[in-house]
C-alpha cells in the first residue's frame, strides 16, 4: 500500500573520512553470505581493489557490512558497481549454459552405454602408459562427454561393466 510509512533502507554507505571516497563500508540490508561472499570474490578479482571483506553484524540482524578499500583514489562505488554487474553476467552465463544443457536431448537420457560412470571413462582404455591419466580424465569427465569407444575394447568394457557393478556400485 502506498504511503504506509517509510520504506526500509536497502543500501547505505558509511564513510569514516568523508573526503576519502576509496574507503567505504556499504551496509547491505537483508543480505548474508549468499551475496556477501560471491560479491566479495568478484570484487577481489579487481586490480583496483586493495581490500574487500564483509561481516555479518549480528546473528539477529539481517544486514552485512561490506567494506571496500581501493588503490589510486578510485571511488569505492566503482568496484562495487562493477562487481555487481560482473556477478550478474556470470549468473546470466550460468543460466544460459544450464538451459542449453537441459534442452539438449541427449544430455539426460539414462543410457547404460554412456552413463556407466566407470566404463565411460576413457581411462580404462588408454593403455598401461597412462598412469597419470587423471588430469585427462577430469577434463574429459564422464557420461555425455565420454569419447567414442573403440570396438576392440568392447569386450573389456563388458568385463569392467560387470566388475564395477558387482564390486564398486
Q: Measured from the CB of residue 17, what is the shortest distance to another protein in angstroms?
A: 12
Q: How many residues bind another protein (CB under 8 A)?
A: 78
Local structure of 70: helix, strand or coil = strand
The residue within the footprint of another protein, chosen from 133, 149, 153, 161 (CB under 8 A), is 133
**Residue whose CB is less far from another protein, 148 or 168:** 168
- Tell me phi and psi for residue 146, to 5 degrees: -65, 145
Assess 45 for contact with another protein (CB under 8 A): yes
Local structure of 45: helix, strand or coil = coil
Cβ-count burial of 121 within 10 angstroms (0-12 exposed, 13-18 middle, 19+ buried)? buried
Q: Measured from the CB of residue 151, what is the shortest distance to another protein in angstroms?
A: 18
Local structure of 29: helix, strand or coil = strand
Q: Which of residues 58-87 bind another protein (CB under 8 A)?
A: 77, 80-81, 84-87
Q: Measured between alpha carbons, how far is 69 from 24 in angstroms, rounded to an integer?
A: 7
**Helix H or strand E segment including 51:** strand 49-56
Site stretch for another protein (CB under 8 A), options 53-61, 111-119, 147-155? 111-119
**Residue whose CB is less far from another protein, 55 or 92:** 92
How many C-beta neighbours within 10 Å does residue 107 have? 11
Assess 15 for contact with another protein (CB under 8 A): yes
The residue within the footprint of another protein, chosen from 94, 154, 158, 162 (CB under 8 A), is 94
The residue within the footprint of another protein, chosen from 51, 57, 136, 154 (CB under 8 A), is 136
Assess 31 for contact with another protein (CB under 8 A): yes
**Residue whose CB is less far from another protein, 17 or 73:** 17
Taking CA atoms, 92 is separated from 35, 38, 101, 102, 108, in Å, by: 15, 15, 14, 15, 22
Assess 107 for contact with another protein (CB under 8 A): yes
Amino acid at each position: 500500500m502506498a504511503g504506509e510509512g517509510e520504506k526500509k533502507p536497502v543500501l547505505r554507505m558509511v564513510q569514516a573520512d568523508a573526503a576519502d571516497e576509496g574507503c567505504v563500508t556499504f551496509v547491505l540490508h537483508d543480505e548474508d553470505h549468499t551475496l556477501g561472499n560471491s560479491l566479495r570474490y568478484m570484487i577481489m578479482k579487481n586490480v583496483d581493489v586493495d581490500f574487500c571483506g564483509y561481516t555479518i553484524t549480528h546473528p539477529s540482524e539481517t544486514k552485512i557490512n561490506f567494506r571496500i578499500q581501493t588503490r589510486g583514489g578510485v571511488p569505492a562505488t566503482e568496484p562495487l558497481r562493477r562487481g555487481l554487474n560482473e556477478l550478474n553476467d556470470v549468473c546470466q552465463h550460468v543460466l544460459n549454459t544450464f538451459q542449453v544443457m537441459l534442452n539438449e536431448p541427449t544430455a539426460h537420457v539414462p543410457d547404460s552405454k554412456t552413463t556407466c560412470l566407470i566404463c565411460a571413462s576413457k581411462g580404462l582404455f588408454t593403455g598401461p602408459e597412462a598412469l597419470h591419466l587423471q588430469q585427462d580424465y577430469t577434463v574429459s569427465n564422464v557420461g555425455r562427454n565420454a569419447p567414442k569407444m573403440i570396438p576392440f575394447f568392447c569386450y573389456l568394457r563388458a568385463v569392467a561393466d560387470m566388475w564395477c557393478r558387482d564390486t564398486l556400485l
